Chain A
Amino acid sequence: MTQQSGTAVLSTEATADALLVATGISKSFGNVRALQDVSVWLPRGQITALIGDNGAGKSTLVRVLSGVHPADEGSLTFDGSPVRFASPEDARTAGIETVHQNLALIDDLTVWQNLFLNRELVRGFGPLSFLDRKRMQEQAEKMLSRLSVNVPPIRSKVRRLSGGQRQAVAISRAAGWGSKLVIMDEPTAALGVQETARVEELVKGLRADGMTVLLISHNFDQVMRLADQVWVMRAGRLAAGRRTQDTDGEELVGLVTGAITS
């Protein structure tokens, strides 16, 4: 290991109270080896950033953690017990909510329907359960008001929203369920200055509420502002890990490009 002077390398050996531990994760799509032997862990109640160039494998790792793609190899431990997510529903049930890079919104459904997608509130029993539209619409207002500068009308179809409003809906959806881990894949990519500031406040708010956050971002200033620790990926492999207090933007750039190793 060629350790830079003045920096503390973060071990892939998880601390005892880590919320999520991923060990030796590999994933291929045909000939493309998107992830090779990636091991990372997320400290409970903190914000962890995941950075890396385009195509480094960040979103693929997110999809493994959120149950969209099962990993080819490797294992996951969540909240102290080994888990195997066969579907996104398994991950959501375990307490992991995700803002996917493509947002996973349904354009022809309304804002409130998207916020409650697969978490619909119903009245009645068994086959005679009917959607409780009123209650969902009321709660949707609350879920959105935490975030948006420019609150999208909850009854309008998502298709009609601006890029930033769409992102706000996806983020509110992930943040609204009081889950243990919120994963955000480039949540501020389409946002303006004010909206980005709001999202950053929200992320800090989640941490203050005791939630754990995994944040994927290309904005190193943002990473330095928000995160407690950082994992760097390069070409499908884990390149390095740092506590943010032990690093700076310049070193992160070096780690991402490969100018600095480990």
Chain B
Amino acid sequence: MAEAVAVGADRESLGGRLRDIGFWADWAAVIGLVALVIVFGLASPSFLTLGNIQAMLVSAAILIVLAVGQTFVIATSGIDLSIASIMTFGAVVLGLLYAAGWPILLACLVGVVAAGLAGVINGTLVAKGRIPDFVVTLGMFSAASGAALILSDGKPTQVVDGFLLALASGSVGPFGYFIVVAAVVVVVAHVALFHTRFGVHVLATGGNAEGARAMGIRTGRVRLAVYLISGVLAGVGAILLVSRVGAAEPAINTTYLLNAIAAVVLGGVSLQGGRGNILGPVVGALLLTALTNGLTLLGISQYYQPLAVGVVVVMAALLMRYQR
């Protein structure tokens, strides 16, 4: 009898864990990324070359920065639908100031501040106005894209500048500056979420706002702060975007919005709030980028890319239901 129990327990620790669906759910994004790398690596010889990996990381950088901002908002059980529009808005502000002869660093700074202000408006309406996050940021989605179109008269602004060119092409060792920027954002965000009082209060606000308030946490301020973070990171994304494209374009970019939310979901962050995690969304962003890149390398029409992203996200969400 005792023997049977011991054998059973043994099995539980080895094969049992692989058969436990919760294990797969916790590691969904990582497993998905590894699977994609293997499949695309076998299917396309150029996928795993150093050059392509570097290119993928660079193109993942903007998405990672946006996904980190989105993670903070989602951890408080909110959602920021305006994140990509605010990025566009910040880019247009940056481009117009540069075109007006401002020094590039000042133009970048004001672009980030403008994006941060849009975030503050979101946060104030959510916290003080008690309007649902979804409605406020849907409004801001429209308002920020509209402001970008009005300010720029719908035309792109060329931004050809040494600093931004260097940002796009320079590197530290094998890592491009974009990757360095994304890595700094990720590390700072991880420390803020897991090693500061603010981080605990973000999770408490998302997990049980009433309880958090009863313990004296100012949940309104926390909500304001996460939208500020999301706005500022959209501004950082704007700098990267202008640097990469060489111009500030007022076009609405919904792919970035949807992929930022998808990366957070793939990273195992619950849309109900209260749970957060920075590395998960980063892996989610890498997964989505690898998916798009791999499909392109295989010569599959880009019309299939949104379909593939949609399938992956819904599959991941299904698996996530078994999370422990």
CB within 8 Å of B: which residues of A? 66-68, 87-89, 91-92, 98, 100, 102-109, 113, 117-118, 120, 122, 129-131
Contacts and interface: CB of A to CB of B under 8 A. Distances in A.
B197 A106 contact: no
B210 A104 contact: yes
A98 B216 CA distance: 11
Given A87-B216, A118-B217, A113 B200 contact: yes
Contacts of A103: 211
Interface residues of B, number: 22
B156 interface: no
Given A89-B218, A106-B274, A117-B204, A131 B197 contact: yes
A122 B208 contact: no
13 contacts: A66-B214, A87-B216, A92-B216, A100-B211, A102-B210, A104-B208, A104-B210, A105-B211, A109-B207, A118-B197, A118-B201, A118-B217, A129-B197
Contacts of B203: 106, 108-109
Interface of B: 191, 194-197, 200-201, 203-204, 207-208, 210-218, 274-275
A68 B211 contact: no
The 8 residue pairs across chains A and B that have the minimum distance between CB atoms: A89-B216, A104-B211, A104-B214, A108-B274, A106-B207, A88-B216, A108-B207, A130-B195
A100 B272 CA distance: 23
Nearest to A127: B196
A108 B206 CA distance: 9
A131 B216 contact: no
B197 A88 contact: no
Contacts of A109: 200, 203-204, 207
Given A118-B217, A130-B191, A131-B195, 12 more contacts: A88-B215, A88-B216, A89-B217, A102-B210, A104-B210, A105-B211, A106-B212, A106-B274, A108-B207, A109-B203, A117-B215, A129-B196
A66 B214 CA distance: 8
A120 B200 CA distance: 9
A117 B196 contact: no
A181 to B, nearest CB: 15
Contacts of A104: 208, 210-212, 214-215
Contacts of A92: 215-216
A41 B201 CA distance: 34
Contact of A117 (B191, B217, B218, B275): B217
Contacts of A129: 196-197
Contacts of A105: 208, 211
B214 A100 contact: yes
